[in-house]
Amino acid sequence: MKILVYVEKAAVRGGIEVFAERHVAELKAAGHEVSVESLIPSPSALDQFDEIIVHKCSDVKTLAAFPPEKTVYYVHDHEPICPRTYAYTPLGHNCTRPGGVWPCIFCAPACRNWRPALARVFAQGRRRRIMARFRKIVVISEFMKSRLVANGIDSGKIEVRPPVIAPAAVTAGSAGPAVDLLYVGQLIRGKGVQLLLRAMALLGTPRTLDVVGTGNMEPRLKALAARLVLADRVRFNGFQPNPQDWMRRAACVVVPSFWQEPYGLVAAEAVALGRPVVAFAVGGLPEACGGRGRLVPPGDVKALAAALEESK
């Protein structure tokens, strides 16, 4: 089969890009002829493909150009529902409402780039109508399926397909010193590293934390660690090309996201590596943990601290 995989260019390589790369490798291993594009080909070029897989397409006009009868649309985040794509309000509260002009128009002006966000508010309805015409919609968790169904998408058209965990991520060896607590991910507000630091400050037995990742919250997180007198117990290691190696060496992998993670690849990979996981029970994280992680109420710093005490 000749397949086109469309993934728009991203400023930061995140979970969507990792998912798409692994998916492409899986398709090629199955014998398919795969082309990867970040710009939509001409209509005549699209006709040459048997199937079109769209992994990320923020622009509704571009999305409408894909032929619906052969397009499979992967939903990785809350973009079809939320103009901020995170499904939490500017005040930091998770939003469970169906998307629409009236619920969403109050949040859009608080976005850093509020004009595009406001445009997305009015484009949401059209996006969902386009999605409804596609041959199939794929989501990465039952949680995300429930969110789309609540927003009017036919459940019969939705397939749940969790992210691919690369075999090498589970089977390769590890090198380096032992790690106590480990966080892997972007350093942005919704990932909740600030909550993890506050939980560490409550621990009766001091523990160390290695942070793997970068993001716009890094300076504030370093300052918070200093205020909490944790600077000598928290190491910020920046981006690491092989975070799974850090996971193998960790006594516990912590996923403190307070936003509604569509899935939680870090949690799933840590579980696959046999590492203890502590996470907030929010979004798709319970599914990613597969019943083997320790889940605590979302945003509850004291419960998070208690779980970390017990994970020793």
* Distant-in-sequence, close-in-space partners of 291: CB < 8 Å, separation ≥ 6: none
Instruction: Please tell me the predicted confidence (pLDDT) of residue 56.
Output: 86
Q: Is the pLDDT of residue 110 over 80?
A: no
C-alpha span between 79 and 124 (Å, rounded): 8
Question: Band of the pLDDT at 133, cuts 50, 70, 90?
Answer: very high
C-alpha 309/C-alpha 207 separation (Å) is 9
Following CA atoms 103, 109, 110, 112 in sequence, which dihedral angle do they give, to the nearest 10 degrees?
Answer: 130
**Cα angle 298-267-261, degrees, rounded to a multiple of 5:** 50
Number of Cα atoms under 13 Å in the Cβ half of residue 181? 30
Confidence at residue 169, expressed as pLDDT on a 0 to 100 scale: 56
Contact 150, 174 (CB under 8 A): no
Residue partners of 67: CB distance under 8 A and separation at least 6: 46, 47, 52
Find, among 91, 93, 95, the residue nearest to 110 by Cα.
Answer: 91
Q: Walk me through the domains of the chain, giving residue ranges and CATH numbers.
A: 2-160 (3.40.50), 175-310 (3.40.50.2000)
Q: pLDDT-derived band of residue 9, with 50, 70 and 90 as boundaries?
A: confident
Is residue 170 over pLDDT 80?
no
Task: Compute and round to an integer the Cα radius of gyration of the chain.
Answer: 20
The secondary structure of 187-217 as a DSSP string is -SGGG-HHHHHHHHTT-SS---EEEE---TT
- In this predicted model, what pLDDT tens digit does every residue of 83-102 receive, in sequence order? 778 888 877 788 888 888 88
Please provide the average confidence, as pLDDT, over all residues in the chain.
90
pLDDT band at residue 167, thresholds of 50, 70 and 90? low
